[in-house]
């Protein structure tokens, strides 16, 4: 069911809502340990919040479906993750505040390492630093000649991630991504998925051939992997739908892009979790919805680093009193998806969620973890329903029907 049917029930008030999103929060036990990363972490503040709140589990897309970060975040904010799904390139472009036009095809890029036999040995080029990424984007801009009638733009996101925008006429996004999603395989050729995209796939094939030559002398980042092709799309804003004045506190461009596409004010990037909480405190008087994004939980999970993911969760827990000291009317703590370190990838497992509000009906959960949340009062529900539940607890929904 499209969650937008409930927009007509929205009423305005002064309630303030915080969504603290630990990216990739959900996990699995690893190396014989009894608990997940969240269950292993020492989280006295989250546990105390759970004892006074209500918990449950979220399915970002549907049971058994492994979500990408884009649709999973759209679901968090009450948008249907299927009908609003767009390529990650558009999210990256919006996050970088790139001046997108209707003639643009946006692509998310991973710098990668390819061996002499043409196989990918590292899909993230050793997580090169952002300064190296900036140098490589300049090198590509200088070394690649776009096809007649087209323009090419290169922009650094962060670490190994970048953005390419191809501008021209009759461009299509229905192209196979070139990232094989695992090492030991060659990049996939950009093949047209519909006849109309043949011209575009040819442009991308030529682009990659030139990029390979330009990057041939690089020790790590000697190849590009293209993902998330997307043209421009417009979305109804959170202000239009929910009457909210939202702000996003996030460092990674893609999440800033999602926020910008949904009409959130995007705060200046921060360099640490502590600075994110300081930004929350600073902006508190000016907004009524606060999206605070924690990226390292996901990064540590993708790198297979169980203990480091545990440490990130513990750092967030230590900062939690600064959030509760602001006395939000509704505080939601969850993730967009699960990224178990034992899988070193996103997974289909449901995500633990905690909601604290004066209006909630406390359940019997004593510890904020996957196992305990299974028995929480929120039950197991689609992530896209979370915003409805949060709005209700904030007194921002009127009665349905007579």
pLDDT 10s digits, 5-14: 789 999 999 9
Evaluate if residue 3 carries a pLDDT over 70. Answer: no
pLDDT tens per residue across span 60-85: 999 999 999 989 999 999 999 998 88
**Rounded CA gap, 254 and 242, in Å?**
23
pLDDT of residue 298: 96
Question: Which residue, among 338, 343, 395, has the nearest Cα to 370 in the 3D structure?
Answer: 338
Q: Report, as an integer, the average pLDDT of 117-123.
A: 93
Contact of 351 with 27, CB cutoff 8 Å:
no
The CA-based dihedral angle spanning residues 78, 38, 274, 46, taken in that order and rounded to the nearest 10 degrees = 80
The 17-22 sheet, strands edge to edge: 265-266, 246-249, 289-294, 17-22, 330-334, 351-357, 54-59, 379-382
For each of the domains in the chain, give its residue range(s) and CATH number, in order of start: 3-86+235-393 (3.40.720.10), 92-230 (3.30.70)
pLDDT tens per residue across span 99-113: 888 899 999 999 999
Question: Which residue, among 172, 162, 106, 108, has the nearest Cα to 132 in the 3D structure?
Answer: 162
Q: What confidence tier does 1 reach under pLDDT thresholds 50, 70, 90?
A: low
Per residue, what are the HEC states of the chain?
Answer: CCHHHHHHHECCCCCCEEEEEECCEECCCCCCCCCCHHHHCCCHHHHHHHHHCEEEEEECCCCCCCCCHHHHHHHHCCCCCCCCCCCHHHHHHHHCCCCCCCCEEEEEEEEEEECCCCCEEECCCCCCCHHHHHHHHHHHHHHCCCCCCCEEEEEEEECCEEEEEEECCCCCCCECCCCCCCCCCCCCCCCECCHHHHHHHHHHHHHHHHHHHHCCCCCCCCEEEEEEEECCCCCCCHHHHHCCCEEEECCCHHHHHHHHHCCCEECCCCCCHHHHHHHHHHHHHHCCEEEEEECHHHHHHHCCCHHHHHHHHHHHHHHHHHHHCCCCCEEEEECCCECCCCCCCCECCCEEEEEEECCCCCCCCCCCCHHHHCCCCCEEEEHHHHHHHHHHHCCCECCCCC
- Could you tell me the two tokens for 160? 């190994």
Q: What confidence tier does 4 reach under pLDDT thresholds 50, 70, 90?
A: low
pLDDT of residue 257: 86
**What average pLDDT does the chain have?**
94
Evaluate if residue 2 carries a pLDDT over 60. Answer: no
Question: Which residue, among 263, 273, 274, 280, has the nearest Cα to 295 in the 3D structure?
Answer: 273
**Rounded CA gap, 33 and 280, in Å?**
35
Give 284 or 93, the one with higher predicted confidence. Answer: 284
pLDDT of residue 111: 95
pLDDT tens per residue across span 305-352: 999 999 999 999 999 999 999 999 999 999 999 999 999 999 999 999
pLDDT tens per residue across span 149-203: 999 999 998 889 999 999 999 999 999 999 998 899 999 999 999 999 999 999 9
Contact of 25 with 347, CB cutoff 8 Å:
no
Give pTM, 2 decimals: 0.83
**Residue 152 φ then ψ, to 5°:** -125, 135
Evaluate if residue 255 carries a pLDDT over 80. Answer: yes
Evaluate if residue 366 carries a pLDDT over 60. Answer: yes
Evaluate if residue 379 carries a pLDDT over 70. Answer: yes
């Amino acid at each position: 069911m499209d969650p937008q049917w409930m927009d007509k029930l929205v009423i305005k008030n002064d309630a303030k809502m915080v969504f603290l999103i630990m990216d990739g929060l959900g996990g699995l036990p690893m190396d014989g340990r009894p608990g997940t990363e969240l269950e292993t972490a020492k989280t006295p503040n989250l546990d105390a919040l759970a004892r006074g709140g209500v918990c449950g589990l979220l399915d970002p897309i549907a049971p058994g479906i492994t979500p990408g970060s884009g649709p999973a975040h759209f679901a968090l904010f009450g948008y249907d993750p299927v009908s609003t799904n767009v390529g990650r390139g558009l999210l990256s472009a919006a996050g970088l505040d790139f001046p997108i036009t209707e003639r643009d095809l946006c692509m998310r890029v991973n710098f990668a390492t390819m061996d002499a036999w043409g196989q990918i040995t590292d899909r993230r080029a050793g997580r090169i630093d952002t300064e190296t990424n900036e140098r490589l984007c300049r090198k590509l801009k200088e070394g690649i000649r776009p096809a007649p009638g087209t323009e090419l733009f290169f922009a650094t996101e962060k670490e190994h991630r970048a953005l390419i925008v191809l501008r021209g006429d009759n461009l299509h996004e229905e192209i196979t991504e070139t990232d094989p999603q695992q090492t030991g395989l060659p990049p996939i050729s950009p093949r047209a998925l519909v006849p109309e995209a043949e011209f575009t796939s040819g442009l991308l094939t030529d682009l990659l051939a030139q990029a390979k030559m330009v990057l041939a002398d690089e020790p790590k980042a000697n190849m590009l992997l293209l993902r998330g092709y997307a043209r421009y799309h417009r979305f109804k804003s959170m202000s239009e739908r929910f009457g909210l004045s939202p702000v996003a506190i996030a460092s990674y461009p893609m999440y800033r892009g999602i926020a910008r596409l949904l009409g959130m004010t995007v705060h200046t990037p921060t360099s640490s979790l502590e600075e994110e909480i300081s930004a929350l405190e600073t902006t508190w008087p000016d907004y009524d919805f606060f999206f605070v994004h924690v990226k390292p939980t996901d990064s540590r999970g993708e790198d297979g680093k169980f203990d480091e993911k545990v440490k990130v969760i513990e750092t967030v827990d230590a900062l939690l009193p600064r959030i509760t000291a602001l006395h939000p009317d509704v505080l939601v703590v969850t993730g967009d998806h699960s990224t178990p370190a034992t899988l070193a990838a996103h997974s289909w497992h449901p995500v633990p969620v905690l909601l604290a509000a004066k209006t909630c009906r406390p359940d019997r959960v004593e510890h904020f973890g996957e196992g305990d949340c299974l028995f929480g009062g929120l039950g197991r529900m689609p992530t896209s329903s979370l915003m409805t539940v949060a709005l209700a607890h904030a007194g921002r929904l009127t009665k349905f029907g007579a």
